[in-house]
Amino acid sequence: MSLDLTAYIRDIPDFPKPGILFKDITPLLADPAALKAAVHALADPYRDANLVSVAAIESRGFIFAAAVALELGCGFVPLRKPNKLPAATTSATYELEYGTDTIEVHVDAIHPGDRVAIIDDVIATGGTAAAAVELVETLGGNLVGISFLIDLAFLGGTAKIGNYPVHSVITYN
């Protein structure tokens, strides 16, 4: 019997600002069976993909991607906020509602031809995910697909990440 993971997602109204209904994953993280089911579901599309690594977006994406990497027997590549990585990096900047933000990756984290999947907790408007795709492409990685625990489909974020296969465990329309 599979777990209904939506039962472990808590709605927090007006966070981080009025009018936003935040999907809180901390109850899912606190439950071992739900966390295990989420990791399995995120890893499923890549079981036979011969990945070299999974890349994850700071910070909640790290929680899931590290576990997915262990499950699939591949490496983990952190995509971080600026000035958090100690060696040479490349970056991608993306639009926010009011301004821009940037994520970075070590230039030697992904090699040309490496089979890579991107893992994140939530896709909303898609800016961060599009920047992650740009980083993998810039380094010459072969992006196999992108998996999200939650897709807030009503915000249209997956339209910003190109024609890569997208897998979402939970979708809110």
Catalytic residues: 60, 97
Give me the residue label for tokens 């980083």.
135
What 45-49 contacts at long range (C-beta under 8 Å, 24+ apart), as own/partner pairs, is: 45/117, 45/145, 45/147, 45/165, 45/167, 46/72, 46/117, 46/144, 46/145, 46/147, 47/72, 49/115, 49/117, 49/144, 49/145
Sign (positive or negative) of CA dihedral 87, 91, 95, 98: positive
Determine the length of the chain: 173
> Within 10 Å of residue 156's Cβ, how many Cβ atoms?
12
